[in-house]
Chain A
Amino acid sequence: MKFREIFRFEFAYQVRRLQTWLYFAALVVVAFLFVRGNHLADALYADFYLNSPFVIASVTVFAGLFWFVVAAGVAGETAARDVETGMHPLTYTAPVSKAEYLGGRFLAGFVLNALILLAVPVGVMLAVYSPGVEAEVVGPFRPAAYLTAYGFIALPNAFVGSAIQFAWAALSRRAIASYVGSVLLFFVAYGGMFFAAIFLERQDLAALLDVFGHVFITSDLILGWTPIEKSTRLIELEGPLLWSRLVWFGIALGTLAFTYLRFRFAHPTASHRWSRLTRRREAHAPTPPLNDIARSMISMPQFRQTFGSATQLRQTLAIAWDSFRTIAKSRGGLVLLAAIAALAVVVMPENMSNMGTPLLPRTEYVLTFLTARLTNPLTPWVITPLLIVFYAGELVWRERKAGLGEITDAAPVPEWVSFLGKFLGLGLILVAWMALLTMAGVLVQTRMGYDDFETGLYLRVLFGLQLPEYLLFALLALVVQGLVNQKYVGHLVALIAYASILFASSLGIEHNLLVYGSAPDWSYTDMRGFGASLGPWLWFMLYWAAWALLLAVVARLLWVRGMEGGLRVRLQLARRRFTRPTAGAAAAAVGLVLTLGGFIFYNTNVLNEYTTASGKMERRAEYERRFGQYANVPQPRLTGTNLHVEIYPRRREVEIRGAYQLVNGAAAAIDSIHVATDSGVETGAVAFDRPVARVLADENLGHRIYVLEEPLQPGDSLRLSFEVHFKPKGFRNSGGGASVAANSTYFKNDWLPAIGYQPRRELFKPGERRAHGLAPRPLFPSLADAEAGQDITGEAGDDLTGAERIAFEAVVGTDGDQTAVAPGALRRTWTEGGRRYFHYATDTPIGNEHRFFSARYAVHEEQWNDPSSGSGRVVAIQVYHHPRHAANLNRMLRSVRASLDYYTRAFGPYPYGYIRLIENPGRGIGAHADATTIDYTEGFSRFNPADDSRGLDLPFAVMAHEMAHQWGVPYAFAEGAPLLSESFAWYAAMGVVEETYGREHLQRLRRFFRQPSPIPPIRQSVPLLRAMDPYAAYRKGPFALFALSEYMGEERVNLAFRRLIEKHRLGAPPLATSLDLYRELQAVTPDSLRYLLHDLFEANTFWELETERATAEQTDAGAWQVTLRVRARKVTVDPAGVETEAPMDEWVPIGVFAPTEKQGADFGETLYLQMHRIRSGEQTITVTVPREPSDAGIDPYHLLIDLERFDNVEEVKIES
């Protein structure tokens, strides 16, 4: 009865409060925005319903996170309101048992939270059914979808969250502690999950620690479910989801039990250990005795009060220092910040890896971990703005919370002084935070044995770039608290403000002038420095600082002082406070906002064209609508390019004068030339060596048409010359652009005019095409089209272009202290007028994709002599690298030499006289190959395989992979193309790795390939011959080729490639396709293995091989008889996920191994490894080995494509 009354009263109390419904409303908004901002686009493109169980479940998870942090006060209040309001002497002395009191209060908190979380389905439904959603993405209404998400995700979260928040607040007797509890659980749970997943590589453990259902959504659903499943399948309470729910339910119950045990109906006194130490000082002081009254009449000293600016400065500083100390000494203050920094020190080194290989902690790299833009939601540093919101609330309410509000408000302190003081205090906290982060960074470097600290860079980035953004936000948070004048609503409003900063761009607000505190990204790399990224950033920051000043004026005007919180009176007061200095400040702020805003707008929208993401898409659609008709108009083929390039790094300008040699390779005469120009540069006049008439020039869409007065006859050629000028005008909304900077320049030939209609500009995602009213088109040209000899010249993304082979020549000029690099052999270099010139020319035709570099490179040069039968061929190896980035130089060179050795032998001679490795200024860690050139981004030089616990030299393998591209054939842009490029390159690189480092190292590389990260397996797909996805290109393709080489010998597979290369290397049409390779493979495959070739390439086949049990028995002769019970199955899977079982009766290796001796090796010494005939289903195999076995299994090295990674080999049980 009492329990019921306690519950009823508490529930009724909070359910009538505005705050509760504000949480509800906020959650509705969040859910709505999540659906519209995050899932609507996906649903359109990926073809699942917007109201599918999947979307509802994931919105429930993410909105739940928001609830968890924002609404922690609900449960906190139920636990601690009595003490905080001073009611506890009345309630604690009532004849109520602890169980009734705590139980009733907790239940009320839980029910309230469950009620608030009902906002999620409401928000989802609003987002689905209110206007603005295409009808085709809305599926049938299914109550079960909402109920399962609410019941399996939201309700358990509400219980766990309420329990933790309740416990913290009840035991600390402060409602605010529930927020601390929330944040801590957030970090502990995520930290634990992270730890389990990354360090222990225990996904199962991570799933178990999954408090909010986050892992479930992100890993199981997003990756594992097909679009059809996403649309239809209901989430079920089973497997990891069930277990994680149970684990956390248990933890919540434990927490509640602990709370019950520790809670006392007692007056709050210091009880924890720390305060016991300091208790003596805090105990009641004895009241001093009253002196004799007459004697105590002491005259007050005479002094003068002053109220000039000096006093105001002193007051500001006093308030600032007091504010700083308050926050710093509080529980959520410096201790928490230091703990977070310490956590960063622990976590960061483990995260400084790429594909499992450790990276050198160079300062520029460490800083990417320590900084985050205010507008970036996907970073752990969202904690900083969240803490700022919290701190701002504490500071604005400090006096009033302590009951000193009336006294301080009556003190002669101007409003702006208190505001500025609090802002400075908060600023000091942020300064301390930046200092802690600096220390964290240096500590990380020290821990990792790196000692080039670059303190100046830390200071510039953290204090010069990061701090101002946080300060801007801190000001906003203070202003919000001041204006709202209700602490928790203030928190909520500030959080909503923060959320709208974070998600503005996904809601279509992209201009940085419209999103508080946002600016184009700055970037820093060792080679480029800040480049041109600082200027635009600074202008935007100044602009927002002016806004901040204006906000501060508004805050000063509406600052609540005393008892008057009503809007009318506040406006009245504001009128009175609008004194001349205030008006001056406001006018200055408005003036600055207008001038700076105007200047920025002039740069971003007048000097430059401002395009939104949707605007860009519309332009692509418009291009197709207007010029798609010319897609099949025959055009001459490019055979030669001659350029004069002048790079002016300091002016950030590039001038290019060039000429193309074009040949009519078609059977009919060509009467018009289509020239596509790039929107990033100014393309001047295009001239021809024969009379033409320009009939169309659409500069906006970048298309010009010239009609030849005399048609170009088949076989004839013409010369087209052009001028291209790159000159940034001011800056764009996206910033200053990184292509040309004072320290380094890097651009591609897509600045140059291209011939013909450019299909790659078309929109290709089905949803995007549908949205713009374009007819569907296949994502990639089909293999059948390619085979039929259609003109597929390779106009697609970076990796697939440049199929035609051209002669290339260029003179490149740059600053006197820089080195410029372009394709071709360096013919000559000279200095003229303080500038250096480089003349490059090819001696063998190369693909039409090239890049230009200029920087202060250090150059390493050496020679490789072809060892094969005295050919006398010499290849020059040149490395252009940043002088400080030489750590991997020798490793890369070793890989290049080993590749030259191996590939020359396996696939034929290297076709050029030189190979160039060029470090490419910029972030990122990739490498990329063009003919004669491999460029790698700066990050690649950070690889530190010496510290790789797997003992794997990944950068060596990657470099061998890029080298293999040099032997790649020009191929048609069609289905299955990656098999000829990426799959071939990895297959070839495996050979180099094995030859250099041995078989065991190769197995390490293959083990890395089998990991689902970074490229997760895709089961439902087309056969390799037609596949385009990354899993097929980088994993399954190389595996298939490797399996083939293991079954029939490396020489045969290499021979197939050698023949393919000989036939297609010159790139004459028709270009090579995956079928050409397949024919070569068929030619070398013995009949007995034709089935395997078919399974690997012509069907999307998966083997399911499993050793159920392995036992061994010692024979009388002292040998060991090993018996394996294995199960085998083979299926093909189509893109829709339909599985068809194929009967199996084929050779599969069976292996038995001795105990492992070396760390990191899969197995010990091989005792037995033979092919066995394996049928579908279960079977028993018995083999005899000479020594005591440890492991045994089927296909121990995973030659066949089997997605289950851990069940092939079992530990052998010894039977006596």
Chain B
Amino acid sequence: MELHIRDVSKTYPNGVQALRDVTLTIPVGMYGLLGPNGAGKSTLMRILATLQEPDTGAIHLGDLDVVQQKDAVRQTLGYLPQEFGVYPKVSAEALLDHFAILKGIPDKKARKEVVEALLRQTNLWEVRRQKLGGYSGGMRQRFGVAVALLGNPKLLIVDEPTAGLDPAERVRFLNLLSELGENSAVILSTHIVEDVSELCTRMAIIDRGEILLEAEPLGAIEEMRGRIWRSVIEKGALAEVERAHAVISTKLLAGRTVVHVFSDAAPDPGFEPAEPDLKDVYFSTMAGHIGRRREQPEPEMAP
């Protein structure tokens, strides 16, 4: 079941335009939505999760109109918000059971099986009888996933899920997601590039409410081949390099600065070709060397 997003815009009452003519097609599989903080990712996610209304535009999940047929969408939706809490004095098992009823599994036996499977899958089975108030951040996040997975959703929306996780948790969590991506459309919003590069079959880069790039990560990286150049310079020389070249990213390495520059041809003898990765795609897009920003001039910021 594909998700089609057509020309969706959203402006908040305080004048902030959170989304601007967003058009995306999201197939079954893992889909990464990459963007800096405040880019409009969460707004888009909440609109997809039926919790917010777009000002204009249409969204369809297969035959379902997401804006109009909220009830039907919810029946096949899994949603893990960026931030959520739990009832601290309830056990994981009890709360999951409660949500199972809410998600349309009234039969007691089926519910028991589902709850057990999900708790095992999220590795919470041993601690299922403990009060959620005592859970660590990672466990809580896993519990949220368990809730989101209830009812085999055809559309799974996870908003910044790896933010609070330690490295091991994160790996396990992303694996869990990719497993789900085999049958459902999974939309993963994140500001961490690695999340996308490791998992997603398709991705979009969003900034200031606009989709800047929609691509397959591997293809996008391939396109960058030969256009990313690297140089290690002194910190003081950075300003000069920035003036002369299209610097897309810098980072410090042992007291010196590593500069990545976007250029169709070798810019300078001081530069060597770099093996491109998704970060380079991201930064190039943000800087306007590829993608939508390249096609049109920088829009005026709203006052």
Interface residues of A (CB under 8 A from B): 281-288, 290-291, 293, 296-298, 300-301, 303, 305-307, 310-311, 314-315, 318-319, 322, 329, 402-404, 406-414, 561-564, 566, 569, 572-573, 576
Contact = CB atoms under 8 A, between A and B. Distances in A.
Nearest to B121: A298
A287 B138 contact: yes
Interface string B149-191: 1011000000000000000110110010001000000000000
Contact of B75 (A319, A407, A412, A564): A412
CB-CB nearest 8 A-B residue pairs: A403-B85, A562-B51, A314-B106, A305-B104, A412-B74, A410-B79, A412-B75, A406-B81
B167 to A, nearest CB: 11
A296 B126 CA distance: 14
Contact of A311 (B106, B120, B134): B106
28 contacts: A281-B130, A281-B134, A284-B135, A290-B123, A293-B171, A296-B121, A296-B123, A298-B121, A300-B118, A303-B107, A303-B110, A305-B103, A305-B152, A306-B104, A318-B98, A402-B88, A403-B83, A403-B84, A406-B49, A407-B147, A408-B102, A411-B74, A411-B102, A412-B71, A412-B151, A562-B50, A564-B53, A572-B53
Contacts of B36: none
A391 B99 CA distance: 22
Interface string B44-64: 001001111100000000000
B152 A300 contact: yes
Contacts of B79: 406-407, 410
Nearest to A569: B53
B111 to A, nearest CB: 8
Given A411-B103, A412-B104, A563 B46 contact: yes
Contacts of B99: 407-408, 411
A1058 to B, nearest CB: 81
Contact of B86 (A307, A403, A411): A403
Contacts of B133: 282
B144 A300 contact: no
A402 B131 contact: no
A281 B52 contact: no
Contacts of A297: 179
Interface residues of B, number: 63
Contacts of B125: 288
Interface in B95-129: 98-99, 101-107, 110, 113-114, 117-118, 120-121, 123-127
A406 B123 contact: no
Nearest to A572: B53
Contacts, number: 150
Contacts of B102: 315, 318-319, 408, 411-413
Nearest to B78: A410
B136 interface: yes
A311 B53 contact: no
A75 B97 CA distance: 39
A318 B101 contact: yes
A298 B99 CA distance: 21
Contacts of B13: 566
A315 B101 contact: yes
B134 to A, nearest CB: 5
Interface of B: 13, 46, 49-53, 68, 71, 74-75, 77, 79-81, 83-89, 98-99, 101-107, 110, 113-114, 117-118, 120-121, 123-127, 130-131, 133-136, 138-139, 144, 147-149, 151-152, 168-169, 171-172, 175, 179
Nearest to B136: A287
Given A288-B127, A406-B49, 5 more contacts: A296-B120, A296-B123, A314-B101, A318-B102, A407-B147
A369 B176 CA distance: 62
Given A282-B134, A318-B98, A412-B104, A404 B86 contact: yes
Contact of B139 (A287, A311, A407, A414): A287
Given A288-B126, A410-B74, A411-B102, A404 B50 contact: no
A290 B106 contact: no
Contacts of B152: 300, 305
Contacts of A303: 105, 107, 110, 113-114
Nearest to A307: B104
A311 B84 CA distance: 26
A288 B138 CA distance: 10
Nearest to A326: B87
B46 A301 contact: no
A628 B144 CA distance: 83
Contact of A290 (B52, B77, B110, B168): B168
B182 to A, nearest CB: 11
A293 B51 contact: no
Contacts of A286: 127
Contact of B104 (A281, A282, A311): A311
Contacts of A404: 84-87
Contacts of A566: 13
A271 to B, nearest CB: 15
A284 B127 CA distance: 11
A407 B123 contact: no
Contact of B117 (A281, A298, A412): A298
Contacts of B53: 564, 569, 572-573
Contacts of A329: 89
A410 B77 contact: yes
A306 B106 contact: yes
A319 B104 CA distance: 13
Contacts of A576: 68
A942 B223 CA distance: 98
Contacts of B148: 407
Contacts of B84: 403-404, 406-407
Given A287-B139, A300-B152, A301-B113, A410 B71 contact: no
Contact of A285 (B52, B81, B121, B130): B130
Task: Output the residue of A286, A305, A319, A576 with the most chain B CB within 10 A.
Answer: A305
B87 A402 contact: yes
A406 B175 contact: no
A404 B79 CA distance: 11
Task: Output the residue of A296, A408, A576 with the most chain B CB within 10 A.
Answer: A296
B134 A285 contact: yes
B175 A293 contact: yes
Nearest to B130: A285
Contacts of B117: 298, 300-301
Contacts of A319: 102
A410 B123 contact: no
A767 B169 CA distance: 81
B165 to A, nearest CB: 11
A576 to B, nearest CB: 7
A572 B84 CA distance: 27
Contacts of A301: 110, 113-114, 117
A403 B141 CA distance: 13
Nearest to B123: A288
Contacts of B113: 301, 303
A791 B50 CA distance: 85
Nearest to B50: A410
Nearest to B171: A293
Nearest to A302: B152
Contacts of A562: 46, 49-52
B104 A407 contact: no
Contacts of A290: 123, 168-169, 172
Nearest to B118: A300
Contact of A402 (B77, B85, B114, B123): B85
A305 B110 CA distance: 10
B51 A409 contact: yes
A564 B51 CA distance: 7
A442 B15 CA distance: 63
Task: Output the residue of A282, A285, A319, A572 with the most chain B CB within 10 A.
Answer: A285
B125 to A, nearest CB: 8
A254 B98 CA distance: 46
Contact of B51 (A287, A318, A403, A406): A406
Contacts of B106: 306, 310-311, 314-315
